[in-house]
Each structure stands twice: as C-alpha cells, then as structure tokens.
Structure 1
Amino acid sequence: MPPREQVIHIHPEAPPKPAEGQPCNGCGVCCLAEPCPVGVLVSRRRTGACAALKWSEAGGRYVCGLMGEADVTAAAPRPFWPRRLWRHWVRRVIASGIGCDAGLEVGGPAAARGEGNKSC
C-alpha cells in the first residue's frame, strides 16, 4: 500500500523532526498527525491534531498539555486520580522519554507543491 499523504500545519519555529529512536525534541509532528490513545480521549477524535498539544513560546517547541500544569484533561476520565498518578500514567502511555516513534516523513511547503528534491 502506498504511503498516505497528510498535510499538517507546523509552527514555523518548531524544531525539525528527529530520526526514529532519537530523543523527542518537541517537533509536534506525531501529535499534529493524530492523537495518541490518551489524546483520543481528550480530543474526542481519532484523526487530526491532538487537542492537548500546545505550543510553548518559552521553549520554542510543542509540549503535551496532558503533562503540564494546565488542566486540559477536563474532558478525560481523570477527576478521581491524583495529578501525580495521572501524569505517570500519561507518561507511560505516550512513551515519554523513550524516543521518537513516529515513522513519518516530513516534507516542507516545496515538497507539498511537488517541488522537492529538484536538482540544479
């Protein structure tokens, strides 16, 4: 089956996607393409960008709102869980600290227009 193409809108200052297995750098590609299992609960959708994904101006990177202080988890079934337990569970489900597991290829605007890899 040929690879599926999808257009995602990435913040212009986002770092480039790391290679699979490399540490996460907050590029946001994986979460902009589709939500993780916890993101499905929060976003209430299985496709498209995760509603919990937030851009951090201070860090110049995307961060998971489920891991931060902001309560984006209101839609998720967390109210009875202590915040520390919730974060531990989310960290485990999204494989935080394991490394990039997004086997996605990213092309820029030129690639989207069919202008990628032109030789002079």
Structure 2
Amino acid sequence: MATRGRIVWIEPDAPAKPPPGAPCNGCGVCCLLAPCPVGIVLSRRWRGPCAALRWVGAERRYRCGALLAAEAAARSARGPLARAITRGYRWLLGRWIAAGRGCDCDATVEPPHDP
C-alpha cells in the first residue's frame, strides 16, 4: 500500500502506532489509511478511512464499529440459538478483520509539524 506523504487525522489521545507484529493497541492508523475487506463492504470504498472505525473515548482507542455491533448483539441475544448465531458471527467477523493477529500496518507515523 503506497502511503507516502498521506495525512490522516488521528485522535490526540490515541495510542502510538505499535511496530508491525506487535499486539494491536487501537491506534487506528491501519483503518484510517484504508478499510479492510469488511470495511470495504461497509464503507463502499477501497481507499481512505473506514466508515466503520469508531473512537471509544472511554477506552482511549479506536475500535471496529462492526465488531462493536456484533459484541452488542451477542450480549443482548435471547435464547441459545440466537446466542450461538451471534457468537459465530462475532467470531467470523473477528477473523475477517484479523482481530488478535497483531499489527499488520507498516506505515510510518510522524507527528504534525508546527508552522
């Protein structure tokens, strides 16, 4: 992915981007640069920030809005079949977005320059 010279706006309280391979910390850089396959469907675009990306101020990190919705659905599901379906959907969505796989973004992040 060619990201040289691109500017993305990141929440000031967001954690610093971890090195590739390190555990995800919710910095949001990858999703602000381009959506993942699930994000492409939800954002209806191949480039630019993912429309599903959410800033969670209480956690001081970015989270996938699709995964947040799936987690909420799993918590509110009624009956064993509904719970099994929502847990399965949450697991599948997590796999599609590579949740828990570590940072796979090789972008270099530079702080803003003062004028």
Measured against aligned partners, the alpha-carbon deviations of 1:50-102 in whole angstroms (never above 9, x if no partner) come to 0110000110000011111379xxxxxxxxxx332222111111111110000
Extract structure 1 runs of 4+ deviating beyond 4 A. Answer: none
When normalised by structure 1's length, the TM-score is 0.77
- The structure with higher relative contact order (CA 8 Å, sep 6+) is 2
Structure 2: distance between partners of 1:63 and 1:21: 18
Identify unmatched segments of 5+ residues in structure 2. Answer: 72-84
Give the AA of the match of 2:66: L
C-alpha RMSD of the superposition:
2.0
Per the alignment, residue 105 of structure 2 pairs with 102
When normalised by structure 2's length, the TM-score is 0.80
Structure 1: distance between partners of 2:55 and 2:112: 20
Aligned length: 101
Structure 1: distance between partners of 2:35 and 2:102: 17
Structure 2: distance between partners of 1:107 and 1:5: 10
1:66/1:87 contact within 8 Å kept: no
Identify unmatched segments of 5+ residues in structure 1. Answer: 72-81, 114-120
Change (3 A) 1:68 1:109: same
Q: Percent identity?
A: 49
Deviation (angstroms), 1:105: 0.5
